[in-house]
Structure formats: structure tokens, C-alpha cells
Amino acid sequence: IIYNNESGKTALAKAEGMKQLANYYMESKNYAAARDTLLTSERDVASEADDAEHIYVRIQLKRQAAMCMANCALYEVAEPLLRQAGRLLDHLQKQDQKRGALARAQLLNDQGIVYYLWANSTKELPRRKSLFEQSKQCFALSARVLGGISGDSELDGIAHLRRALHQNLGLVRQDLAFEPR
């Protein structure tokens, strides 16, 4: 961390190192440290510039921090982090339409995952069904957004995200079929 801070690297370059550190914390099941590392890096990136690349990285860091919280079943902490990332989307899309659409689709997929996991950990049946429905809506909206990205985009992750969305929608539909009416 000290080397990373004293190296003279840009905040974007430092963010890559901080993501690796956060992954180490995740593997060690130190979820709070992983979240804090990612959010500190996000603040550094935000203070450096406001261009499309910086905004995209900020969204990715917030998404990863939210998923850290989801991994330890703190869904009520993960959800606001995803909403914070969502507030950056319009600004990104004004600067880079395709990257903004991809970030929106990724974020909706993550929200769907959080709602799905939350539903599976909830015993209260009406709340459980509501969370499954929210999950399904997020996955479906993410697929629509992804479908709106014109042509075979050079952006990384589109094909992988399409496959993941198809699987995620299948899982939530399957679980909803077994929910009491």
C-alpha cells in the first residue's frame, strides 16, 4: 500500500493494485477490509478526474465493494452501494454511450444477484417473493440494456454477461416456480 501510494502512479493505476488487495481480503474472508479498500480507491479515482474512464472505474469499484458485502450476507449494505454506483451511470453515458450501457447492464445484473441472494436468505414469504421479483426484473432489464448496445461491440465482457444473464434469469424463474402463491 505504501509503495502504491508513493509510486507516483495515477489513481487508475493504483486502483488496479487496490483491487488485488481487496481480492486478497475477500479470500481471507475479511469483507469489511475489502470493502473499505475498494471505497478508498474509489474516492482517490474520483478526486483525480471526471472523464469516462475514471467514472467507469468508480462504478466498477463500487460494484465490487457491494458484492463484497453480498458475499457476507450484508445485503442491506450492498444495496445502497449499488445505488451509489447507479447515480454515476447517466454522467458516464453522456461521455461514452457504449461503455455507459455496458456499466448499466453490469450494475443491473449485480442488483439482480443481490436481490436473488437476499430472497434465498429471507424466511418471510411475501418479502422473499418480492425480492425474487425484483431480481427477475433487474435481470430482464439488464438483458434489454445489453441488447441495445449496437453491433458487435469491442467492449470486454458483453458475451460473458449475456450468458450470465440467461443463467440468472433461469435460476430466478425456477425458484419463483416453487414459491407459494
Amino acid at 178: F
pLDDT tens per residue across all 181 residues of the chain? 665 666 778 999 899 989 999 999 999 999 999 999 999 999 999 999 999 999 999 999 999 999 999 999 999 999 999 999 999 999 999 999 989 999 999 999 999 999 999 999 999 999 999 999 999 999 999 999 988 886 555 566 787 788 888 888 888 988 888 887 6
C-alpha cell at 95: 461521455
C-alpha of 46 from chain center: 17
pLDDT of 178 reads 83
pLDDT digits (tens, 9 = 90+) for 142-176: 999 988 886 555 566 787 788 888 888 888 988 88
| Rounded (5°) CA angle 178-104-146 | 75
